């Protein structure tokens, strides 16, 4: 089975072709990504209108290149998958309409993929992880701890009550005068910093649910910065190190609770999987590796290019659905909000 995947929900335009391996897992035949970071950097965040226009300019070209690199034509595909949300509606429409158009013209099955499900299932593409598993999904727009029980079968164990983790990195970086995206900038600066210089709060530490709250930490970092202004490079490094150390402590504590909730509901997970751009952070990865070693759980961290937004994860989610006989009508709508767990009416941060 070979499926084309299209991703346009945020600031990456992406198209990829993935093949289902007979033994399970996927083979990425092509994986084209065009990042719009440069177009948004001056604004310190993603500008929806700029994103949508950039997707329109790039998408046809990227799809053609993905097919060419895979040495396939549309007629050779077994299906076409496009992310239908959650995300910035203008961008989502670009990818969704492109996918529908191709599917209609070539008479191929179409799958409207939930972008979060695609992140969540990536560990099965790369490592063929069996259900159920525990997932930390942390990006610029989403922060969730999920029990992944099957395709389309998710149990949300925790979410953020305010900022997403990546968003907290981005906003803190902006406040300290560091470039966008803030995560890599803070991580780099933190390497030269003292994580104990500023005593920053660890919000919700020890709470019995697995939720996050990051906005208080962001504010505390701002107040700490104001207390030593004007900032010298060493102050910035110390602030970054102190902020990152607080985030790491919070994630470790929240995962401990998430694992406990998972075990109560579903027994032992086959793995702890991390996904989303924040999973690129070395200090967070190290903390989760320690946590998993202590808990006796396998840690699965897909390679960085598959943690951030990409087309291969959309193609793979399409494969997972098509092989269960799940496909979508071409009338399917774009969804700016689309929670994975139907018992969650809408996420508290309004992002999913
Ligand atoms: O998944 P992603 O590429 O896009 C979405 O938000 O969907 O994630 C981007 C987010 C940004 O907020 C960025 O600052 C954060 O991931 N990020 C990091 C690191 N690399 C990227 N956060 C912390 N440390 C990093 N090394
Ligand atoms: Zn994403």
Predicted confidence at residue 151, as pLDDT, reads: 98
Is the C-beta atom of 277 inside 6 A of ligand 1? yes
Residues 310, 273 share a domain: no
Q: What is residue 47's predicted lDDT score, i.e. its pLDDT?
A: 87
**10 and 106 within one domain:** yes
Which pLDDT belongs to residue 180? 86
Please indicate, yes or no, whether residues 190 and 292 belong to a single structural domain of this protein: yes
Least confident of 30-39, 73-82, 256-265, 266-275: 30-39
pLDDT at residue 351, as a whole number: 45
**Same domain, yes or no, for 138 and 166?**
yes
Query: Closest ligand 1 atom, CA of 173?
Result: 14
Could you tell me the CATH number of the domain that includes residue 90? 3.30.420.40
pLDDT computed for residue 345 by the predictor: 52
pLDDT above 90 (res 210): yes
Which residue of 183, 275, 311 sits with most ligand 1 atoms within 8 Å of its CB, as the best mutation to test the pocket?
Answer: 183
Q: Which atom of ligand 1 is nearest to the CA of 282?
A: 26
**Quick check: 180 and 44 in contact, CB under 8 A?**
yes
Residue range 228-265, pLDDT digits in tens = 999 999 999 999 999 999 999 999 999 999 999 999 99
How much is the average pLDDT of 159-167? 96
Residues 118 and 196 both lie in one domain: no
pLDDT recorded at residue 39: 86
Pair (115, 158) in one structural domain = no
Looking at all shown ligands, the one closest to residue 140's CA atom is: 1
Summarize pLDDT for 52-70 with one digit per residue, the tens. 999 999 999 999 999 999 9
Q: What is the pLDDT of residue 349?
A: 43
CB 96 within 8 A of CB 84: yes
In this prediction, residues 307-317 reach a mean pLDDT of 96
Does 153 share its domain with 224?
yes
Give yes or no for residue 348 having a pLDDT over 70: no
Which of 278, 280, 282 maximizes ligand 1 atoms within 8 Å of its Cβ, making it the mutation to test the pocket?
278
To the nearest whole number, what is the mean pLDDT of the chain? 95
Print the domain residue range for 317.
Answer: 2-122+305-348
Q: What pLDDT, on a 0 to 100 scale, did the predictor assign at position 342?
A: 83
**pLDDT value for 42:** 82
Q: How many whole angstroms from 324 Cα to the centroid of ligand 1?
A: 32
Instruction: Give the pLDDT confidence of 93-134 residue by residue, as tens digits.
Output: 999 999 999 999 999 999 999 999 999 999 999 999 999 999
Q: Same domain, yes or no, for 208 and 118?
A: no
Ligand 1 atom 10 nearest Cα: 140
Q: Looking at ligand 1, which atom is closest to the CA of residue 307? A: 1
Q: How many domains does the chain have?
A: 2
The protein residue whose alpha carbon is closest to atom 8 in ligand 1 is 277
Given ligand 1 and candidates 91, 95, 139, which is best to mutate, with the most ligand atoms within 8 Å of its CB? 139
Same domain, 140 and 114: no
């Amino acid at each position: 089975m070979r499926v084309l995947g299209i991703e346009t929900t945020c600031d990456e335009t992406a198209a990829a072709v993935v093949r289902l391996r007979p033994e399970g897992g996927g083979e990425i035949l092509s994986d084209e990504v065009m990042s719009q970071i440069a177009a948004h950097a001056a604004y310190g965040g993603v500008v929806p209108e700029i994103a949508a226009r950039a997707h329109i300019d790039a998408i046809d070209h990227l799809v053609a290149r993905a097919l060419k690199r895979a040495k396939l034509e549309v007629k050779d595909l077994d299906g076409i998958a496009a992310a239908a949300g959650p995300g910035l509606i203008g961008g989502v429409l670009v990818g969704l309409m492109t996918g529908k158009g191709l599917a209609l013209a070539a008479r191929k099955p179409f799958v409207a993929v939930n972008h979060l499900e695609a992140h969540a299932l990536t560990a099965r593409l790369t490592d063929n992880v069996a259900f159920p598993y525990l997932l930390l999904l942390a990006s610029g727009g989403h922060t969730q701890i999920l029990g992944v029980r099957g395709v389309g079968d998710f149990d949300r164990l925790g979410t953020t009550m305010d900022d997403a983790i990546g968003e907290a990195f981005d906003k803190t970086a902006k406040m300290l005068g560091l470039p966008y995206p803030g995560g890599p900038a803070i991580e780099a600066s933190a390497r030269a910093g003292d994580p104990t210089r500023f005593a920053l709060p660890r919000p919700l530490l020890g709470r019995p649910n697995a939720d996050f709250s990051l906005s208080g930490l962001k504010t505390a970092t701002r107040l700490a910065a104001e207390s030593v202004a004007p900032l010298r490079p060493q102050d910035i490094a110390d602030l970054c190190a102190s902020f990152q150390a607080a985030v790491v402590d919070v994630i470790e504590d929240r995962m401990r609770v998430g694992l406990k909730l998972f075990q109560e509901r579903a027994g032992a997970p086959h793995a702890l999987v991390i996904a989303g751009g924040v999973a690129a952070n070395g200090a967070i990865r190290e903390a989760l590796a320690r946590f998993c070693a202590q808990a006796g759980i396998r840690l699965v961290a897909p390679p960085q290019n598959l943690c951030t937004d990409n087309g291969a994860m959309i193609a793979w989610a399409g494969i997972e659905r098509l092989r269960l006989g799940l496909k979508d009508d071409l009338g399917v709508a774009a969804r700016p909000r689309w929670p994975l767990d139907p018992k969650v009416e809408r996420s508290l941060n309004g992002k999913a």
